[in-house]
Amino acid sequence: MLERIASPADLRGLTYGELDALAEEIRDYLVSSVSLTGGHLGPNLGVVELTLGLHRVFQSPHDTLVFDTGHQSYVHKLLTGRQDFSDLRKRGGLAGYPSRAESEHDVVENSHASTALSWAAGIARGRTLAGETDRTTVGVIGDGALTGGMAWEALNSLADAHDRVVIVVNDNGRSYAPTIGGLARKLDGIRINPRYEQFLGWGKRTFENRGPWRNFAYRTVMHGKRAVKGLITEPGMFDDLGLKYVGPVDGHDLRQVEAALTAARDFGAPVIVHVLTEKGRGYTPAEEDVADRFHAVGRIHPETGLPVKPSRFGWTKVFAEEIVAVGREREDVVALTAAMLAPVGLQPFADEFPERVIDVGIAEQHAVTSAAGLAFAGRHPVVAVYATFLNRAFDQVLMDVALHGAGVTFMLDRAGITGDDGPSHNGMWDMALLRHVPGLRLAAPRDAPTMRRAFREALDVNDAPTVVRYPKGPVGDDLPAVRSIGDLDVLAEHGAEPQVIVVGLGSMAPTAIDAAEKIAAGGVSVTAMTATWVHPVPAGLVDALGDASLVVTIEDGLADAGIGEEWAAAARTAGHDARWMHRGVPREFLQHAARDQIVEQVGLDASAIADDVVAALA
């Protein structure tokens, strides 16, 4: 069946029996393919019928579909002619999110959550202004993305709009974990309302006569608040915003999905369609999972869902252990995260200290400002997020935390080059951005001992923000210092009076050691160094440089305006006249590939750096 679907138009001639068979085949394909490559499995198993319905009711790309977040777009890819998942998220293969380079059906490369409704509002208004009144814009928002404040800003605006927008709330009750907060409780209330069961049963019984069902759905929309409150759900929520509402709809009953979407499409103004789905649908290991291990997976055995290769002890695990140890010692430590309790390592802390963990949902701005409030109230908040997601709250770091001298510690997981999740998930912007925040102190530990120490040192700072950044993946071997000069650690020495200093920041410290060894093989005196606290400029920098004529900095953040440039400026100001060479990530969006491939691509491997140094000396 799947091979017969070259475009969404091929779906419209199928019977419901054929569509049910296609849905089963899609789920089988997702399990078999994603188990080989890794990727977002659970979310896509849950949206099969919903995506089929979207592409039967709407005519993409004439109508615009925006997925939020974009990791639930795998089925959309399959139905729009992209059925080779063999290199999913690998260089040259399909991206794990929508990609304009792949298809005209992909409009928003949406991998940061809660933005789709703003995109939809803008696209729809643009269509209206152009007189394109036959085109509908659809925003599919789910996996907890509706907890983000930006989504509600968009809903507030859409309530006053008259453009052709359909807002599909894919309500599976989960993001990386069960969705939390007042919104989640309200959706739960709608989901378990007895009228919902009556509604679903009535819809199924009468669908044999499609006219009455469609008329019912249409009347529900047309009559607005009275019909919604009286027939489907209790007062409040979306209808009290002034938005028309249809639902809740069984997201795994294609007939109901199509009827609701058709009614919303024909209304011609903003309508919310509330669709209930089950994350991991049709795959027993995912359906039985209570920890959302199948939200995103590595390579797994499809029969059992178990990893092909167990994960090695990772950086996140180091933090998870250390914050629990700290929590037993200090009652003032409180942890915050944005819908990523387990991925950032806070689950063990939450298990032991449930009252001292706050999961705000996908709302990084709120997390950071509320952390400033916690600091004012005498706590020491620890905000644990992916490095790429702190970008969303830069203003709050600057104006709410730093301006007020708040002692807040930020633990930035997945810092640097992450690779396979593509340009939006590389945590490459943080050092270049954060070094401009007055009073902020930033650490880039090189191994587990320096990370544990940096975290505890950060917690002792109560008058300014502190940041500890660390990469994705396993922790390497410990890298003890040969000796220290001020706040800098010497990791390897080749010759007594170094002509070249190679500085590796954080996870690039092993690269500095390897590069120094390769440079020394050519008869050059060279020293490899690092520092744990990289901003402000570490004390003793000029003394550590000695009489070196060339200093090379290696960082897995932006080379332009990064930490290396800050150190170089400080050295020049102090009168040191060495030449500097900065190696880091270029100021561009890096397409998905393995981390090692990207490192080589941007010239951050030890061999390339050593060759550059030899050429510079010549």
Neighbours of 399 (CB within 10 A): 14
Percent of the chain past pLDDT 70, that is, above it, reads 86
Cα dihedral value 333, 293, 138, 388, nearest 10: 40
Residue 392 designated active-site: yes
Per-residue pLDDT for 32 more than 60?
Answer: yes
Q: What is the residue whose two structure tokens read 């320096």?
A: 450
Give me the long-range contacts of 73-76 (CB less than 8 A, separation at least 24): 73/44, 73/97, 73/98, 73/106, 74/30, 74/34, 74/39, 74/40, 74/44, 75/26, 75/30, 75/44, 75/47, 75/48, 75/51, 76/51, 76/105
- pLDDT higher for 449 or 203? 449
**576 marked ligand binding residue:** no
Residue 364 designated active-site: yes
User: 15-284 sits in which CATH class?
Assistant: alpha beta
Residue 492's DSSP bridge partners are 528
- With CA atoms as reference, report the closest residue to 383 among 419, 346, 331: 346
Please identify which of the residues 109, 258, 322, 364 carries the catalytic annotation: 364
pLDDT in tens, 120-136: 999 999 999 999 999 99
pLDDT, average across residues 198-225: 35
Starting at the edge strand that comes first in sequence, how are the strands of the sheet with 488-494 ordered?
483-485, 488-494, 526-530, 500-504, 550-558, 579-585
Pairing relation of β-strands 488-494 and 483-485?
A: antiparallel
Read off φ and ψ for residue 567, nearest 5 degrees.
Answer: -65, -40
Q: What is the pLDDT of residue 205?
A: 33
Neighbours of 368 (CB within 10 A): 30
**143 marked ligand binding residue:** yes
Q: What is the pLDDT of residue 176?
A: 44
Q: What is the pLDDT of residue 407?
A: 97
Per-residue pLDDT for 228 more than 50?
Answer: no
3-state secondary structure 333-365: EEEEECCCCCCCCCHHHHHHCHHHEEECCCCHH
Per-residue pLDDT for 244 more than 90?
Answer: no
- With CA atoms as reference, report the closest residue to 184 among 210, 209, 229, 147: 147
| Average pLDDT score over the chain | 85
The token pair at 221 is 């929309």
In single-letter form, the type of residue at position 80 comes to T
Q: Cα–chain-centroid distance for residue 606?
A: 29
Among 173-187, 391-405, 426-440, 445-459, the minimum mean pLDDT is found in: 173-187
Per-residue pLDDT for 55 more than 80?
Answer: yes
pLDDT in tens, 99-119: 888 899 989 887 778 888 988
- pLDDT higher for 598 or 233? 598
Among 74-78, 153-157, 255-259, 289-293, the minimum mean pLDDT is found in: 289-293
Q: Kindly write down the DSSP assignment for every residue of 70-107, as one continuous string.
A: GGG-HHHHHHTT----TTTTSTTS--SS--TTT-TT--
User: Is 501:549 a contact under the CB 8 Å cutoff?
Assistant: no
Per-residue pLDDT for 178 more than 80?
Answer: no
The token pair at 40 is 């977002």
d(CA 374, CA 355): 13
Per-residue pLDDT for 310 more than 80?
Answer: no
Q: What is the pLDDT of residue 493?
A: 95
pLDDT, average across residues 46-50: 92
d(CA 183, CA 179): 9
pLDDT in tens, 418-450: 877 777 888 889 999 999 999 999 999 999 999
pLDDT in tens, 540-571: 999 999 999 999 999 999 998 899 999 999 99
d(CA 609, CA 571): 22
d(CA 446, CA 286): 36
SS3 258: helix
- Label residue 315 by pLDDT band (50, 70, 90): very high
Pairing relation of β-strands 441-443 and 488-494?
A: unpaired
Q: What is the pLDDT of residue 18?
A: 93
- pLDDT higher for 109 or 375? 375
Q: What is the residue whose two structure tokens read 């089925």?
A: 75
Where is 411: in which H helix or E strand?
Answer: strand 409-413
d(CA 15, CA 21): 10
Neighbours of 301 (CB within 10 A): 11
Per-residue pLDDT for 215 more than 60?
Answer: no
Please identify which of the residues 90, 164, 255, 279 carries the catalytic annotation: 279
**113 marked ligand binding residue:** yes
Where is 494: in which H helix or E strand?
Answer: strand 488-494
The CATH 3.40.50.970 portion of the chain extends over 15-284, 315-469
Per-residue pLDDT for 530 more than 90?
Answer: yes
Please identify which of the residues 77, 82, 379, 392 carries the catalytic annotation: 392
Neighbours of 491 (CB within 10 A): 23
- pLDDT higher for 241 or 201? 241
In degrees, rounded to 5, the angle at the alpha carbon of residue 374 between the alpha carbons of residues 373 and 376 is 65
d(CA 524, CA 498): 8
Q: Kindly write down the DSSP assignment for every residue of 544-561, as one continuous string.
A: HHTT-SEEEEEEEEESTT
The token pair at 4 is 């017969």
Q: What is the pLDDT of residue 232?
A: 32
Q: What is the pLDDT of residue 551?
A: 96
In degrees, rounded to 5, the angle at the alpha carbon of residue 278 between the alpha carbons of residues 273 and 280 is 135
d(CA 393, CA 399): 10
Q: What is the pLDDT of residue 479?
A: 96
Residues 6+ apart with CB under 8 A from 129: none
- pLDDT higher for 72 or 528? 528
Q: What is the pLDDT of residue 578?
A: 94
User: Is 579:606 a contact under the CB 8 Å cutoff?
Assistant: no
pLDDT in tens, 494-521: 988 999 999 999 999 999 999 999 999 9
Q: Where are the alpha helices (DSSP H) in 485-588?
A: 509-520, 541-545, 563-573
Does the domain spanning 315-469 belong to CATH 3.40.50.970? Answer: yes
Give the architecture-level CATH label for domain 483-617. Answer: 3-Layer(aba) Sandwich (3.40)
Q: What is the pLDDT of residue 185?
A: 57
Q: What is the residue whose two structure tokens read 């006569």?
A: 209
The CATH 3.40.50.920 portion of the chain extends over 483-617
Where is 31: in which H helix or E strand?
Answer: helix 16-37
Q: What is the pLDDT of residue 489?
A: 97
d(CA 367, CA 408): 11
Q: What is the pLDDT of residue 469?
A: 96
d(CA 93, CA 385): 28
**111 marked ligand binding residue:** yes
SS3 530: strand
Q: Kindly write down the DSSP assignment for every residue of 153-181, as one continuous string.
A: HHHHHHTT--S-EEEEEEE-SBSSSB--S
d(CA 44, CA 23): 11
Q: What is the pLDDT of residue 256?
A: 92
d(CA 313, CA 317): 7
Peptide bond into 147 cis (omega under 30): no
- Label residue 245 by pLDDT band (50, 70, 90): confident
In degrees, rounded to 5, the angle at the alpha carbon of residue 595 between the alpha carbons of residues 88 and 305 is 50
Cα dihedral sign, 320-326-328-332? negative
**364 marked ligand binding residue:** yes
pLDDT in tens, 56-88: 999 999 999 999 888 888 899 999 999 888 888
**172 marked ligand binding residue:** yes
Cα dihedral sign, 277-283-289-291? negative
Neighbours of 470 (CB within 10 A): 31
pTM: 0.82
